Structure formats: C-alpha cells, structure tokens
Amino acid sequence: MLRVGYPATVPAEFLSVFPEDVELIALPDGLAEETTLDVWVPDPYTPKALKVWPHLRGVKLVLSMMAGTEWIRPTVGPDVLICSGRGAHSPSTAEWTLTAILTMLRHVPFYVGVQKDGVWKRRFEMPARYKEITGDARSLYPPVLQEELTGKRVLLVGHGSIGQQIERLLAPFDVVLTRVARTARANPKVHAVSELDALLPDAEIVILILPLTPESHHLMGARQMGLMRQGALLVNAARGAVVDTDALVDALRSGKIRAAVDVTDPEPLPEGHPLWSCPNVFISPHVAGSTPEFSRRAMQVAAGELRRYMRGERLQNQV
C-alpha cells in the first residue's frame, strides 16, 4: 500500500478524492521524526515544505499543489518524479489577472483615494492624469474619467493552463489577442518567446503567466520595457523574477508604463522597498491563487495524478 504524505492543514473533507487503497499520512508543520513515504504532497508554502523534507524517507513521487515547482528539483534530487499542480489555481489566478487589468484601466486606486478624501470634485483630476499616463493628447469631450478593456491589444506571454483560462475570460471583451509561449505553434497561433521584442511595441496590455526558468529569468528587463508603448500596462501573475525589479521601478518612475503585480522579486517585498511607492502600480502580496476552492481543487489534481501513477499511465503534469 502506497504511503502518501500531505499537509495536516488540508481539510479532511478534501481527502475523499484519493484512492481508497493508499495510506494517507498527515504531516504537521513541526514534523520532527523520520517518516517513510512513497508520495509527498508538499505544503504550498515553500518554507514550510522545506522544513518537512529533511525528515522524509523513500519519496519516489512529489505531487505539488502549486503550478510553480522551481524549488522542488534542487531539494529532492534527480531521482524523484515531480508533478506540478497545473490546473489547481487556473480559475483563481485568471480571475485575479482580469481583476487587476480592470482595476488599472478603471483607475480604481485613484477613485478609492477620492472616496477616502470624500471630495467628489477630485474626479476632474482624471482627464489630466489620463493624458499624462497614456500620452493621448486629443481634446476629448466629455472628459475621460476611465478607460475600457474592450478592444484592447493584449499580449499574453504564457499559454499553459492559466494562460488559456485568462484567454477565455478575456473573450467577452473582444480584445485583440496575441499569444506567446516557449515555442511557436500553429493552431491556435502562438508566437515563440524569441519574437517578444518585436511584439511588445504594439501591445496595450502585456500579461506574464509563464514558468520561471533560466530562460525566462528577467525576461522583462529595461530593454523590453523601453519597447513598450507609452502607458501600456504590464501584468505579472507569473513569478517575480520574470521581471527585472530595478528596471520596473525605473519604468514606473519615468511614467513610461503602468503595472499590476501579484508577485515580486524579492518576495516578500520588504517594507520600504521603492516598488511600494512607485506611481501607477497595483501590488497584491502573492494572493491570486488563494481562494476557498484552492485546496479542494489541488487535492483533485493530485489524486488524479496518483491514480495514473498507480496504473502505470503517463502523468499529465510531470515536470
């Protein structure tokens, strides 16, 4: 019988999806004794998982609850199979991405400030702010008080499970979508990441939702941000190090672009870090996937992979 270790904090009702002929072992945060397992479902918080790992023996398969697995291979070594949690937080992260885009285009942070001040007439500050951010110097009447997502040119960098979900959520807004992934594909049309620099100047919104690899580290640097159009929105729902933070701070301070990020580098973002005080940025502290449905969905993904493993079938999310 396979011994499957999982975080003790996972609600018991989410475990019913696992095969009946396995032994489920709850692993507390403070695990101190050696524990023999065949399969390990690590805690989604990496620091907690790293404290548990030294006490585990015999692990042959790791079923991550998260899509990102960059820390696992250096920890468990080359002889352990690793599966990501691809699909577990696709809906929640895709919804965050859409929310972040609308938050910035509808200038929600500014209007929250108007509400806090309780001064209705502050709304008339927006036309000048809009012109400063976008460089749109047209004389428009009535004055521009918000922007629309409908019809925007969107560059989606990453077309895995979450990227595809983001595309589905964007469809009702009739955006002009350009897809980018590690390699080019024909159906649907996907550009190779090597074409990114050529695609950036036309995009009004750039969404990053690709894995962190040596190739994607600082994929968005000073040169790439310099290629972006005035007032373009950069959305990072991937990993913080996909973006060069120093370059992002410079681009925001110069007024060239705006940004919405759920991930940062470093992370946690230290108190007093210059990114906190940059203009035209929305920052959430890596919360996009954290909804009441996450653990339930992650257990379903892990259980499905475990059944395939037990039957000797190809694993869908093997890294």
Tokens representing 204? 């009004």
Comparing CA positions, the residue from 98, 103, 29, 18 lying closest to residue 63 is: 18
Q: Which of 191, 239, 258, 297 is catalytic?
A: 239
Q: What is the mean pLDDT of the chain?
A: 96
Task: Provide the pLDDT for residue 175.
Answer: 98
Tokens representing 92? 């929640």
In the block, tokens 């929250």 appear at 112
How far apart are the C-alpha atoms of 172 and 88, rounded to whole Å? 23
Catalytic (active site) residue 286: yes
Q: Which of 34, 195, 215, 267 is catalytic?
A: 267
How far apart are the C-alpha atoms of 73 and 70, rounded to whole Å? 7
> For residue 271, what are the CA distances in angstroms to 46, 266, 274, 275, 276?
21, 11, 9, 10, 8
How far apart are the C-alpha atoms of 124 and 107, rounded to whole Å? 13
Task: Provide the pLDDT for residue 68.
Answer: 85
Task: Provide the pLDDT for residue 67.
Answer: 87
CA dihedral 205, 122, 124, 283 (to 10 degrees): -10
In the block, tokens 């991405």 appear at 97
* DSSP letter for each residue of the chain: -EEEEEETTS-GGGGGGS-TTEEEEEE-TT--S-EE-SEE---SSHHHHHHHGGGEES--EEE-SSS--TTHHHHH-TTSEEE--TTSSHHHHHHHHHHHHHHHHTTHHHHHHHHHHT-GGGGGGHHHHHHHHH------SSPP-----TT-EEEEE--SHHHHHHHHHHGGGT-EEEEEESS-BTTTTEEEGGGHHHHGGG-SEEEE-----TTTTT-B-HHHHHHSPTT-EEEE-S-GGGB-HHHHHHHHHHTS-EEEES--SSSSPPTT-GGGG-SSEEE--S-TT-STTHHHHHHHHHHHHHHHHHTTPPPTTB-
The predicted model scores a pTM of 0.93
Low-confidence ranges of the chain (pLDDT < 70): none
Q: Which of 182, 286, 296, 307 is catalytic?
A: 286
Query: What confidence tens digit (pLDDT) does each residue in 76-107 have?
Result: 999 999 999 999 999 999 999 999 999 999 99
Largest CA distance in the chain: 73
Task: Provide the pLDDT for residue 7.
Answer: 97
Complete domains list, the chain, with CATH:
2-88+292-310 (3.40.50.720), 90-106+147-283 (3.40.50.720)
Query: What confidence tens digit (pLDDT) does each residue in 239-250 have?
Result: 999 999 999 999
Catalytic (active site) residue 267: yes
